[in-house]
Structure 1
Amino acid sequence: MTHDLHSQKVAILVTDGVERVELDQPRGALLGAGATTDVVSIHPGEIEARQFDSVAAGTFPVDRLVADASVDDYDALFLPGGIGNPDRLRADRDAVAFVKAFAATSKPVAAICHGPWTLVEADVVRGRRITSWPSIRTDLRNAGAEVVDEEVVVDGQFLTSRSPADLAAFCPAIVAHFARARVPG
Structure 2
Amino acid sequence: MSATQSDSPRKVAFLVAGEGIERVELTEPWDAVKDAGFEPVLVSPDPGEVQTYNHLDKAETQKVDQTVAEADVDSFDALVLPGGVANPDALRMDDAAVAFARDFLASGKPVAAICHAPWTLVEAGALGPV
TM-score above 0.5: yes
1:41 aligns to what?
44
Structure 2 residue ranges without an equivalent (≥5): none
Match runs of 1:71-150 below 5 Å? 71-126=73-128, 143=130
AA aligned opposite 2:3: L
In the aligned structure 2, how far is the partner of 1:5 from the partner of 1:19? 27
Match runs of 1:4-43 below 5 Å? 4-6=2-4, 7=8, 8-15=10-17, 16-43=19-46
Structure 1 residue ranges without an equivalent (≥5): 127-141, 144-185
Q: Deviations over 1:6-46 (max 9, x none)?
A: 42200000121100000000110110010001100011100
For residue 103 of structure 2, give the secondary structure of its aligned residue in structure 1: helix
User: 8 Å contact 1:20–1:57 — kept in the other structure?
Assistant: yes
In the aligned structure 1, how far is the partner of 2:115 from the partner of 2:76? 22
Normalized against structure 2, the TM-score is what? 0.92
In the aligned structure 1, how far is the partner of 2:88 from the partner of 2:11? 21
Q: CA deviation at 1:86?
A: 0.6
Q: Deviations over 1:47-83 (max 9, x none)?
A: 000111x100110100000011111110100000001
For residue 17 of structure 1, give the secondary structure of its aligned residue in structure 2: strand
Tell me the C-alpha RMSD between the 2 structures: 1.2
In the aligned structure 2, how far is the partner of 1:28 from the partner of 1:70? 22
For residue 3 of structure 2, give the secondary structure of its aligned residue in structure 1: coil
Q: CA deviation at 1:125?
A: 2.4
In the aligned structure 2, how far is the partner of 1:125 from the partner of 1:35? 29
For residue 69 of structure 2, give the secondary structure of its aligned residue in structure 1: helix
The runs of at least 4 aligned residues of structure 1 exceeding 2 Å deviation read none
In the aligned structure 2, how far is the partner of 1:107 from the partner of 1:64? 19
1:158 aligns to what?
none
For residue 68 of structure 1, give the secondary structure of its aligned residue in structure 2: coil
1:58 aligns to what?
60
AA aligned opposite 2:44: S
User: 8 Å contact 1:49–1:56 — kept in the other structure?
Assistant: yes
Q: Deviations over 1:75-112 (max 9, x none)?
A: 10000000111111001010000000000011000011
AA aligned opposite 2:23: R
AA aligned opposite 1:85: N
